[in-house]
Amino acid sequence: MLRGNVVLKMQGRITKIVSNTFSVNVNNDVYDCKARGKFRNEKITPMVGDLVAIEDKDLLITDIFPRKNELKRPFISNVDKALIITSVADPKLSLDLLDKQLCTIIFNKVTPIIILSKLDLLNSKEKKEIKKIAKYYSSIGIKVLKNTDKKKIREQIAKNVVVLTGQSGAGKSTLLNKLEKTLDLKTSPISKALGRGVHTTRHVELFEIAKGLIADTPGFSALDLSEITKEELKRLFIEFKHYNCQYDNCSHIKEKNCGVKKALEENKILKSRYDNYIKFGSEK
């Protein structure tokens, strides 16, 4: 925008990145922008979710404001909540992946919400087991919803920047289409040869739903926890803090009088959670 010889800047949020083109939403108007070369020189990579300043005349991103957080996979910043779309069948439930996602999300100071999908594919016995697992995660302070709880999910999205994440084929794009029919995002069936979903989302993009912003993201089946130290890992298994150990620096593995191991023996801690804690720690 020009007034005389003065270039005025506008502030907005990056909602989509395709190649080197950045879509910036400024008061519901979307501008396709390029980024100044200085970001490359400063080794700064603009991300979906970034709050930025742009020049209207040349449609250039001139400033990227400080981020409150950022995720690597999916590649997005300034996230308030993460909806972890968790398939219980086809592809089968992976508590290993779920706990990795929770660790990554909590580590980045994002509020996790587990969304269970494909419950209709389970028999009655399997549903009872999933109910027990869901009850445990709820008991440690993580909200658990079903993908059919559309009203409750929309309430979680309202006035927030939200990311969907989960296995390929878990139903992320399908859920978005149910929440907002005008999106008409591409979905794909499970690959019978691979036993997992086929990627249908090729880039990260923020969509407006329920007065909030939500990102459909490329699916993935592996996460890197290399940035998280063993000490931080203990904190990310949030239920461990409720149990007292003899030693302040207890690793909850071989020490005597460990409150966490005692709680495990008393079935107060889900065994898969403890097993994953040991597994993730051994990989460091």
Look at the alpha carbons of 265, 268, 272, 274 in this order and tell me if their dihedral is positive or negative.
negative
Measure Cα distances from 107 to 65, 70, 126, 161, 231 in Å. Answer: 21, 10, 31, 17, 12
SS3 at position 198: coil
Cα-based torsion angle of the residue sequence 189, 194, 198, 202 in order, rounded to the nearest 10 degrees:
180
225 assigned to some structural domain:
no
Cα-based torsion angle of the residue sequence 272, 274, 279, 282 in order, rounded to the nearest 10 degrees:
180
CATH number of the domain encompassing residue 123: 3.40.50.300
CATH number of the domain encompassing residue 53: 2.40.50.140
- Quote the domain boundaries for residue 247: 230-282
Do 209 and 106 belong together in one domain? yes
Rounded CA-CA distance 138/118 in Å is 19
Do 267 and 135 belong together in one domain? no
Do 178 and 269 belong together in one domain? no
| Full pLDDT tens readout for the chain, 284 residues | 444 455 568 999 999 999 899 999 999 899 999 999 999 999 999 999 999 999 988 899 999 999 999 887 778 999 999 999 999 999 999 999 999 999 999 999 999 999 999 999 999 999 999 999 999 999 999 999 999 999 999 999 999 999 888 887 888 888 888 888 777 655 444 333 334 443 344 578 898 998 999 986 654 445 778 889 999 999 999 999 999 999 999 999 999 999 999 999 999 999 999 999 999 999 87
Do 10 and 119 belong together in one domain? no
Domain boundary among 46, 64, 82: 64
Domain count, the chain: 3
Instruction: Provide CB contacts within 8 A for 62, sequence distance 6+.
Output: 9, 36, 52, 53, 54, 55
Do 74 and 197 belong together in one domain? yes
Domain boundary among 184, 216, 248: 216
Closest of 190, 121, 111, 178 to residue 147, by C-alpha = 178
Maximal C-alpha separation, the chain: 75
